[in-house]
């Protein structure tokens, strides 16, 4: 399990932020733990129980989703859907690559339709049950169709390329796939917020200078070459707050949603944007690419082994010649789903470490510990506020609300003597 890197090694931006700190700055009258407990006590017991139930239900849905996926993949093989589709494609198309390019999207569409009842329950009904969605079913389903169409546009040639690698090197295809992975992760990570996200939300320049200018000032002070801030209408989907700093070269943009503007004061907005700027400045997109690429190398190896075992036992009964057979694709998908399920703690840890670093960066850039604590309390509407250590390790892609608020209060305690009057005024525990 990777350890959180020392912030001094993260570069001059963080070392300068910490260089003036000393334990002598801490105020004996301010107890970070007591302040944290005071914050979480403000969340009503009913709201906290509801949030815990929502988040803990997600643990079971991970397992249910895996079981449903494995069952669907088995079903399309057991009743011969994949085999008949293979025969139809091979009888009409000569090129092996073109065959896969035609086969893959049709098969994925079939799997998507069969999985749709679970998606409706998990992403529509359940979100409404817990009061987290603002969408009608028609609006939600339209976005699902658009998202799946975009997925097919990019996934189909990738699957075809992987299958081509399997045909050419059945024993080593996973090595080539692993080497190509970082390029695809970077590509999608950089273009998605700028070119794909606008398919679902409307992005417009943020007009309010009282909000925009402090964000741009903080960006300039921290070396982010952005010239504008964009607002997007996430309120049409939910009341969740979010923001991002994305892109590269000429595509860099700072974006925040209308929920953040509506639900947080300027100090809270600045704290959130300091966090997002931290992701950009600390090169998290590139750091995550390295870690995720290593994880996907293990995933592809697992899929290779899994496919060999399954086809060795059931391939002949299903009428599948081997891993190069197009009809073996559901086995590949099943192996990938199982591997990603097993890798969930690893993937969560990769993200959680960078989120922790971004939190600390924001505290030093925005210097708004209480505003950050307020935001973290707000995020606990749908994230369990205080999990156990093992629970957080396995299931949390972000630090828990409790640990994030505690980090903010510790920063506040250590910065009392150098704090702005506004921050110093919060010397007592929140009421």
3-state helix, strand, coil in the chain (%, to 5): 75, 5, 25
The CA–CA distances, whole Å, from 52 to 41, 43, 67, 309 equal 15, 12, 23, 39
- Do residues 118 and 65 make contact, with C-beta atoms less than 8 angstroms apart? yes
Which range marks the domain in which residue 161 is found?
22-172+291-425
Residue at token pair 């999608």: 188
Residue 61 lies in a domain: yes
- 194 pLDDT band, cuts 50/70/90, is confident
Cα separation, 105 vs 326, whole angstroms:
12
Structural domain includes residue 280:
no
- Within a domain: residue 415? yes
| Residue 235 confidence (pLDDT) | 96
The whole-number average pLDDT for the span 373-394 is 96
Secondary structure (DSSP) of 167-186:
HH-TTTHHHHHHHHHHHHHH
Angle between helical axes of 45-78 and 96-119 (0-180°, round to 10): 140
pLDDT band at 226 (very low <50, low <70, confident <90, very high): confident
What pLDDT is recorded for position 374? 97
Pick the closest to residue 107 from 305, 414, 333 (CA basis): 333
Max mean pLDDT among 191-195, 223-227, 350-354 falls in 350-354
Q: Which of 54, 71, 212, 171 is nearest to 122 (CA)?
A: 54
Q: Strand, helix or coil at 11?
A: coil
Structural domains in the chain (count): 1
Q: What is the pLDDT of residue 416?
A: 76
pLDDT reported for residue 16:
39
Residues written for the chain = 431
Task: Examine residue 232 and state whether it is found in any structural domain, yes or no.
Answer: no
142 within a domain of the structure (yes/no): yes
**Does some domain include residue 1?**
no
pLDDT in tens, 153-170: 999 999 999 999 999 999
Residue 225, number of CB atoms within 10 A of its CB: 9
Question: pLDDT-derived band of residue 418, with 50, 70 and 90 as boundaries?
Answer: low
Q: For residue 133, which of 123, 146, 142 has the smallest C-alpha distance? A: 123
Task: Examine the pLDDT at 21 and tell me if it is beyond 60.
Answer: no
The pLDDT tens digits for 26-84 are 445 789 999 999 999 999 999 999 999 999 999 999 999 999 999 999 999 999 999 99
pLDDT at 251: 64
229-232, strands of its sheet edge to edge: 203-205, 229-232, 253-257, 243-246
CB 280 within 8 A of CB 256: no
CA distance 376 to 364: 17
Of 267, 224, 223, which is closest to residue 244 (Cα–Cα)? Answer: 224
Question: What is the model's pLDDT at position 421?
Answer: 56
* Mean pLDDT of the region 97-110: 97
Query: Residue 89's CB: how many other CB atoms inside 10 A?
Result: 20
* Three-state SS at 302: helix
Q: Residue 209: is its pLDDT beyond 90?
A: yes
Tell me how crowded residue 150 is: count the other CB atoms within 10 A of its CB: 15
CB 274 within 8 A of CB 375: no
Task: Tell me, yes or no, whether 259 lies in a domain.
Answer: no
How crowded is residue 262: how many other Cβ atoms within 10 Å of its Cβ? 10
User: pLDDT tens for residues 248-271?
Assistant: 655 678 999 999 999 999 999 999
pLDDT tens per residue across span 335-349: 999 999 999 999 999
DSSP run (H or E) holding 205: strand 203-205
Q: What is the CA radius of gyration of the chain?
A: 24
Question: Among residues of the chain, what percentage have pLDDT more than 90?
Answer: 83
Count of other CB atoms within 10 angstroms of residue 174: 23
Per-residue pLDDT, averaged over 125-136, amounts to 96
Mean of the pLDDT values across residues 237-255?
82
Provide mean pLDDT across the span 112-139: 97
In a domain, 36, yes or no: yes
| Backbone φ/ψ region at 265: left (φ over 0), alpha (ψ -120 to 50), beta | beta
Closest CA to 171 of 308, 293, 328: 308
d(CA 324, CA 144): 31
246 and 190 Cβ atoms separated by less than 8 Å = yes
- Tokens for 12, please give them: 């001059």
């Amino acid at each position: 399990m990777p350890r959180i890197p020392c912030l001094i090694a993260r570069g001059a931006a963080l070392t300068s932020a910490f260089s003036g700190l000393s334990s002598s700055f801490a105020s004996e009258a301010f107890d970070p733990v007591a302040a944290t407990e005071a914050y979480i006590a403000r969340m009503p017991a009913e709201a906290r129980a509801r949030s815990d139930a929502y988040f803990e239900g997600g643990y079971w849905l991970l397992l249910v989703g895996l079981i449903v996926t494995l069952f669907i993949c088995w079903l399309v093989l057991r009743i011969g859907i994949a085999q008949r589709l293979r025969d139809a494609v091979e009888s009409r198309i000569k090129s092996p690559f073109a065959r896969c390019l035609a086969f893959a999207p049709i098969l994925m569409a079939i799997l998507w339709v069969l999985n749709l009842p679970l998606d409706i329950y998990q992403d529509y009904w359940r979100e409404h049950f817990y009061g987290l969605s603002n969408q009608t079913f028609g609006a939600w389903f339209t976005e699902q169709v658009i998202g799946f169409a975009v997925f097919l546009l990019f996934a189909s040639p990738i699957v075809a390329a992987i299958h081509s690698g399997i045909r050419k090197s059945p024993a080593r295809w996973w090595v080539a796939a692993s080497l190509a992975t970082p390029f695809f992760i970077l590509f999608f990570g950089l273009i998605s917020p700028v070119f794909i996200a606008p398919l679902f939300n409307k992005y417009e320049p943020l007009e309010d200078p009282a909000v925009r200018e402090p964000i741009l000032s903080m960006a300039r002070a921290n070396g982010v070459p952005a010239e504008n801030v964009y607002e997007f209408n996430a309120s049409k989907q939910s009341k969740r707050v979010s923001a991002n700093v994305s892109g590269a070269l000429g595509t860099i943009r700072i974006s925040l949603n209308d929920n953040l503007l509506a639900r947080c004061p300027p100090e809270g907005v600045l704290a959130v944007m300091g966090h997002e700027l931290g992701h950009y400045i600390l090169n998290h997109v590139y750091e995550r690419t390295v870690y995720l690429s290593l994880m996907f190398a293990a995933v592809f190896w697992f899929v290779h082994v899994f496919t060999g075992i399954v086809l060795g036992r059931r391939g002949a009964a299903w009428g599948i010649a081997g891993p190069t057979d197009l009809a073996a694709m559901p086995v590949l998908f099943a192996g990938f789903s199982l591997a990603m399920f097993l890798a969930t703690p690893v993937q969560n840890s990769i993200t959680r470490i960078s989120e922790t670093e971004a939190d600390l960066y924001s505290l030093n850039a925005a210097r708004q510990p209480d505003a950050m604590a307020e935001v973290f309390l707000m995020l606990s509407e749908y994230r369990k506020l205080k999990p156990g250590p093992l629970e957080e390790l396995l299931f949390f892609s972000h630090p828990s609300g409790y640990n994030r608020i505690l980090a903010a209060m510790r920063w506040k305690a250590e910065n009392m003597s150098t704090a702005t009057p506004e921050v110093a005024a919060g010397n007592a525990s929140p009421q």
